Structure 1
Amino acid sequence: MRPFLLLGLCPIWWMACHTSRSSNGPAPVDEAVANVQDTVLIRLHKGSCYGQCPTYQLELHASGRAVLSPRRFMPVDSTRTAVWPMEEILSAFDAAGFDRFLPEYMQPIADIPTFRLSYRGKEVKWNGRAPQPLLDLVTLLDRYTVKEGWLEEERAFRAKPAYRVDRELIVQLKPGTDVPLWLYLYDDVGMEILRKIVPSGEYLLVTYDQDRVEPDTLLERVRADQQVVLANFNKEVDLRD
């Protein structure tokens, strides 16, 4: 009888093993999906200043989960979470051309906060003046932060109104551009470098002779230059509250 008993148990053993494998099979896939959804796509860090600037870190995950870690001068004193509309936010970051920003836009100003904003692994650091699209992204994130009650509206970041300075252009050149040679191409309008915004010399503040060319005409010409990544008029803003 023993051989028959063993044979009778085999189908039961096979079904148990098969069921176990089936139930455990999808787990790695589910775990992978969970990991993707938990990926941090956007991270904003606001540094401190000599005054009562709100200081915090905000993380946005692929799933839409927003996580605020308050540091100082915030209406909340512990971690907060919510779900935000990532489609709108990601569209804004892509439209801003985040991948074209330089790694740093730092000014020699001690009493204003330093910002760090990262998107899909790339981080940009600045204080004070920075490209307008970059500042607009912080304004967007702070709008949602205020809506959640995590930040007081009067302390939210807003890109301040700026006034165009026609006589000055901010130009970002492609890496490896021969700056003196590039400048020579605009000798007909008397273009000169006022200063290098970053030491590498790829980000310049330039001026020119307005008697030789209209401001908008020159800007259009510079933007069409194959060696130029970005170009815009300089703007006068008040960097301090």
Structure 2
Amino acid sequence: MNIITCLVFMILQTPSNVAGETPYIQFKKGACMGECPVYQITVDHDGKLTFKGVRFTNKDGIYERMLTKKEFRKLKCTFKKSKLKKFEDGYGLDVMDASASTLTVNKKNFTKTIVSKIGMPEKLEKAEAYLVSLSPQSANAAYEWTTIKESNSPVISGRKEIAAKEIILQLKPNVTIESWVTKYKKYGVQVNRQIVPNRPLYLLRYDPKTVQFTQLLKKMNTDIDVDSAEENKKVEMR
């Protein structure tokens, strides 16, 4: 699409939204086995942007703002120029320790979802980057946000305090952490770090909303791939 066509498209587009309508754009950034930002961006058809910061983000909690007409038209134009229909549904999904980006665009008679880890097309990367630039996750974002829900997690020097109930896990020889951790995905189990280099000893975190800590420890200690699993009783500030 050339510049003139894109400008015409921007002028002709007018924001519209129907209550209960599927959002125009949904973008999710998932976790990795480190401290990757986890967040979600939603843009409605009327230009309302909602940001939900889950972990390791610039602004944890739920925040909203209306995009300006210029921002919203540029966003639509950017995604139109990217020609989403031509893209595959997934890129680099076989990479284990990488954060996945899930993008869903809903238009009239057209819905496209693309999950990417690495190797995404340049046009798709630019479109996602512009979307993120409109959110609190952008370092240059100086917008006024309406707070819907603040994070309840304590923050020290811009980082969360990691709770005491972490897990020290030792796997049996020849068991990889990448394959093992997928078995506990429903409990939100993730690797904070490898405690000792060249040894299968890891510090884990989990989602306390999904399972009781004692039950999770019991499950891990009966796992045939686990040598031991115990509570990390020391509170660390990171």
- TM-score, length-scaled by structure 1: 0.45
Task: Point out the structure with max Rg over C-alpha.
Answer: 1
Structure number with the higher helix fraction is 1
- TM-score, length-scaled by structure 2: 0.46
The one of the two structures with greater contact order (alpha-carbon pairs below 8 A, sep at least 6) is: 2
